[in-house]
Amino acid sequence: MRTFYITTPIYYVNDIPHIGHAYTSIACDVMARFKRLSGDKVFFLSGTDEHGLKIKKSAEKAGMEPLEFTNQVSQRFRDLLTALNCSNDDFIRTTEVRHKKACQALWDKLVANGDIYLGKYSGWYAVRDEAYYAEDELTKTAGSKMIAPSGAECEWVEEESYFFKLSAWGDRLLDFYEKNPDFIKPVTRRNEIVQFVKSGLHDLSVSRTAISWGIPVPNESRHVMYVWLDALTNYISALGYPDIESEKFKDFWPSAVHVMGKDIIRFHAVYWPAFLMAAGVAPPKKVFAHGWWTNEGQKISKSLGNVIDPYELIADYGLDQMRYFLLREVPFGNDGDFSKDSMIRRMNSDLANGIGNLAQRTLSLIAKNCEGKVPAHSDFSEQDNKLLHAAYALPAMFSEHMNSFAFNKALDSIWELISAADRYIDSEAPWSLKKTDITRMQTVLFVLAEVIRIISLLLQPFMPTSADALLNQLSVPSDKRSLEHASGKHVLTAGTPLPAPTGVFPRFNPPK
């Protein structure tokens, strides 16, 4: 059986959930659902990143102990996944015992393999990014502040620290990228990373003594692990690391795909595979970096007060509509702009007037003229066959796009079929056949119902609730909704009673 392991980044609990978190989680959910429908055994992981100075400071600000604080705020991210209808199989918190064990075991391995040594770190650190920066990467402001490329302010740090011998892994990383050309996607990110590694890697400080909110370094009570080493390890602690012989680990690790925003690709594509190779574990199969959303053309930031609240989007436009918009509007990997106008345009033209209208027209004609049962068909005309063939050919093309994370192209390919079905219904005009040729009318309505069945099957990963509603209206049994049923071998059965049709994709109603 094919397996598929997909992960979101684990989210920093100091933030309130925003569109960025929602976007990654939805994209991973769509992929996880698609792979399940394709028959793969799937493991979908999300979670929260709870250690480090940034979280410690937020807890202090809230007047709470760090653990009490993280217990409370981690729940917000669990709740968001539920609100987004994400089908994650597990949710990991870095404060859990299973994770701590995995991190310490990984650390021991790195020490045993000679990749960690004790030294002294003096350099720049940005708490907001929890990242070290070289001086030549920074810009000095008029007020002598040192600013990282991400915009985060850096502070000077000098302390005893354990180092990971990252500098020794450059050539092996380049060799790995070369042998695995699809490891970093999209290709623009791959080029950036290759350039970065070619420019020479410095050893990486992987422990801190100035803070205590973290996972203790084994046998070294003064040090806690660098929060990114801790955080990245979540991807294997959830599979039971260090037990790499377990079925779960063996089943899923080789198929691992990490999805994240472009800002944190370096951690995933450079540090993480180096840590893993040093510990004798194969790197994941793929890391995919998506772009960033702006709001009405403006960078999203707390100080501008334009952070997009996913709960508000759900309330204003509907969950499935929002899921559809985010994955349809821009190619996955590119930056995108959220605007009310474009959201409403997609909701009305693609959904209400597109698939919604096609389904509603067809299903009400069937309800009115075919006694509310799947009509029987007679011989197919050339036009019927043309449309049916297009429908049965679609799943293969759709899957190809999905497998390369081209969500927008996968959706485009469905909408091409919707347009073809719209042209067909207009030219065949089943409403007027009612008086002239009932047999022909039934055939046309059968063809349309079949096409809507295929469309609904393919829409399931993106809009699970709406696609389910459509499949229910076609009385498709729940065990006949996987992609293997999206062919001409599993057609609708004539005479099957259908429930009374109701609209599935409402037009936009301005919020009161």
Find tokens 């070294």 and name the residue.
220
CA–CA dist 203, 253 (Å, integer) = 27
E-state strands within 265-406: 286-290, 293-295, 298-299, 336-338
Per the CB < 8 A criterion, the answer to whether 272 and 166 are in contact is no
Per the CB < 8 A criterion, the answer to whether 453 and 494 are in contact is no
CA–CA dist 338, 324 (Å, integer) = 13
Least distance from C-beta 246 to ligand MSP, angstroms? Answer: 21
Q: In the complex with ligand MSP, which residue's Cβ is closer, 330 or 448?
A: 330
Looking at residue 507, what DSSP letter applies? Answer: P
Residue 334 has which token pair?
Answer: 């590119």
Residue 316 has which token pair?
Answer: 């204003």
Closest CA to 206 of 305, 106, 96, 349: 106
Catalog residues that contact ligand MSP under the rule CB under 6 A: 9-12, 15, 20-21, 23-24, 49, 231-232, 234, 260-261, 263-264, 292-293, 300
Q: In the complex with ligand MSP, which residue's Cβ is closer, 12 or 446?
A: 12
Residue 157 has which token pair?
Answer: 């740090």
CA–CA dist 27, 289 (Å, integer) = 11
Least distance from C-beta 330 to ligand MSP, angstroms? Answer: 11
The SS3 of residue 420 is helix
Least distance from C-beta 102 to ligand MSP, angstroms? Answer: 13
- Mark out the alpha helices in 329-437 (DSSP H runs): 340-345, 357-369, 382-403, 407-428, 430-436
Least distance from C-beta 348 to ligand MSP, angstroms? Answer: 24
The residue sitting closest to ligand MSP, measured at its beta carbon, is 261
Cis check for the bond before 511: say yes or no (omega within 30 of 0): no
Q: In the complex with ligand MSP, which residue's Cβ is closer, 126 or 455?
A: 126
Least distance from C-beta 80 to ligand MSP, angstroms? Answer: 11
Q: In the complex with ligand MSP, which residue's Cβ is closer, 7 or 413?
A: 7
Q: In the complex with ligand MSP, which residue's Cβ is closer, 275 or 508?
A: 275
Cα→Cα distances 53→164, 215, 309, 330, 506, Å = 20, 12, 26, 35, 46
Least distance from C-beta 79 to ligand MSP, angstroms? Answer: 15
Q: In the complex with ligand MSP, which residue's Cβ is closer, 78 or 434?
A: 78
Closest CA to 254 of 275, 279, 274, 281: 281
The SS3 of residue 177 is helix
Q: In the complex with ligand MSP, which residue's Cβ is closer, 173 or 300?
A: 300
Q: In the complex with ligand MSP, which residue's Cβ is closer, 407 or 446?
A: 407
Least distance from C-beta 486 to ligand MSP, angstroms? Answer: 31
Quickly count: other Cβ atoms within 10 Å of residue 115's Cβ.
21
Q: In the complex with ligand MSP, which residue's Cβ is closer, 21 or 223?
A: 21
CA–CA dist 330, 179 (Å, integer) = 30
Least distance from C-beta 402 to ligand MSP, angstroms? Answer: 20
Least distance from C-beta 217 to ligand MSP, angstroms? Answer: 19
Q: In the complex with ligand MSP, which residue's Cβ is closer, 228 or 398?
A: 228
Least distance from C-beta 21 to ligand MSP, angstroms? Answer: 5
The SS3 of residue 145 is coil
Find tokens 């053309």 and name the residue.
297
